[in-house]
Structure 1
Amino acid sequence: MAEAQKRTEIEIQNLIRSDHEIREELRSIRREIGGLSRSFSYAFENEAFRSLPDFLKKNFGIVLKKRLVREEIRGKEINIFGIGEKEGKEVFVVGEAKVRLDEVKAQDGVFDELEDKVSAVKEEYGQGIDVVKILVTHHATKGFINLAKQRGIIVIQSFEW
């Protein structure tokens, strides 16, 4: 009986060691996937920076004064930021880039996240500024697009530019 107990304790110790090793490997994989995800997101934003100026001009009459940039304003990272003009009036373009947008993303707070960034821009440049809110994506569901329209947000899918 004592021998069996000793073997069980050794097995438990081995399982505990294995569990710790698996957890560390999982943490490492998560870090790597997070890095890949960030790299993909930045590449997508960079593609948007090149394509959006012409798209915004052609489809919304917004002429940018300077190129679009990724900007930190009041501690918020604004994925897509620019200052332009529409019908002779200054407008601020504030946007987020997401690979896919659907109703789940809406529930996860993508609209709130964008509104927080709009608030930061208004705090920096003045509450009375005109802001054009955009969400750029590779794909958005019809349901998501409808929710965004209700909130005055323009959804631009990459195939459109």
Structure 2
Amino acid sequence: MIFNVELIEELEKLEPQVRSAFLKILRFIEKTIGEVVKREDFLELKREVEKLTKSVAELAEAQKKSEERLTKLEHTLAELAEAQKRTEQRLNELAEAQKRTEQRLNELAEAQKHTEQRLNELAEAQKKTEEELRQLIGEHKKTREQLGGLTHTVGYILEDRAYKGLPDLLKRDFGLGTIDFIKRDFIEISANRYEEINIFGKGKIDERDKWIIGECKTQLKKTDIDNFLNKVRKIEKVLTGEKILVIVTYQASPSVRNYAKEKGIRIYFSYELPLA
């Protein structure tokens, strides 16, 4: 029998189909040897079988290495498959995130649309408000002009009453013997510069001239007193001599009255003057 242990062991390492083919060949060889081969041929055949055994061993080793490489390849493919699975999962997550992003963008676009619509409405409302404000400003301007005219009218009425009523009051309170005049006038304080004086007059006490300088205010305030005193200072260099300072008004608070008294100003109220 040409089968030895080494050959059998090597055959066991082969794949079943390969091993079966080799066994058929060897059985055929063995059968043939038993019938026609001489001893010399048998020895030669035996050497060939040994070579075949060696080739089978080498083939088995190559098969083993191929299986190892195949195993590694299968492992690598498994890892790639797992990586691909994770990649697909990540892509699905990204796709879902993209979907949510697009949904959010659509919501923002819709909100922006509402905002723009609201802004347009506000702009239109602002336009109407500005138009109404312009109308109110125009009406307010007219009202102020009317009030200004009314204020001037009231002021002129108060001045006219003062011109009639002050002479007797000044004679009574300051001992004036005569009063030359009381009127509204402009005092030239420098070349082509004038200062308007509401109450401007002149009287005498024991032949001494007294200038009468006054102001009419519907409602007297401290600032009015300060402005009046500033006006008096401007005309001081033109109207030299003693002066009687008076202010005629409809009303003044106690603090304003005291302030006027401290500044040497006599206040007369409208109710002290004749109506006509």
1:31 aligns with 2:178: no
Pick the structure with more strand per residue: 1
Q: 1:12 to 1:114 in 2, by over 3 A?
A: closer
Read off the aligned partner of 2:175 and give its amino acid letter: G
Shift of 1:139: 2.6
Q: Report the structure number with the largest CA radius of gyration.
A: 2
- RMSD (Å) for aligned C-alpha atoms: 1.9
User: 1:160 is matched with which residue?
Assistant: 272
Question: Unaligned stretches of 5+ in structure 1?
Answer: none
User: 1:92 is matched with which residue?
Assistant: 211
Pick the structure with more helix per residue: 2
User: 2:133 is matched with which residue?
Assistant: 19
Describe the SS at the equivalent of 2:236.
helix
Read off the aligned partner of 2:132 and give its amino acid letter: S
Segment of structure 1 superposing worse, 48-57 or 115-124: 115-124
TM-score by length of 1: 0.84
Describe the SS at the equivalent of 1:124.
coil
Instruction: Pick from 9, 22, 47 the counterpart of residue 161 of structure 2.
Output: 47
TM-superposition CA deviations, 1:15-73 (whole Å, max 9, x none) = 2211211111111111111111011001100000001011111221122112x111111
Segment of structure 1 superposing worse, 139-148 or 28-37: 139-148
TM-score by length of 2: 0.51
Q: 1:99 to 1:124 in 2, by over 3 A?
A: same
How far apart in 2 are the matches of 1:6 and 1:64? 73
Describe the SS at the equivalent of 1:123.
coil
Shift of 1:3: 5.6
Identity across the alignment (%): 27
Question: Unaligned stretches of 5+ in structure 2?
Answer: 1-112
Q: 1:26 to 1:65 in 2, by over 3 A?
A: same
User: 2:40 is matched with which residue?
Assistant: none
The answer (yes or no) to whether the contact 2:212–2:245 under 8 Å persists in 1 is yes
How far apart in 2 are the matches of 1:16 and 1:138? 39
Q: 1:111 to 1:4 in 2, by over 3 A?
A: closer
TM-superposition CA deviations, 1:111-134 (whole Å, max 9, x none) = 2222122223322233xx111111
Describe the SS at the equivalent of 2:238.
helix
Instruction: Pick from 221, 237, 248 the counterpart of residue 136 of structure 1.
Output: 248
Alignment map for 1:76-91 (pairs within 5 Å): 76-91=195-210
The answer (yes or no) to whether the contact 2:158–2:270 under 8 Å persists in 1 is no
The answer (yes or no) to whether the contact 2:216–2:249 under 8 Å persists in 1 is yes
Structure with larger RCO (C-alpha < 8 A, sep 6+): 1
How far apart in 1 are the matches of 2:228 and 2:122? 55
Read off the aligned partner of 2:149 and give its amino acid letter: G
How far apart in 2 are the matches of 1:149 and 1:7? 61
Shift of 1:6: 4.3
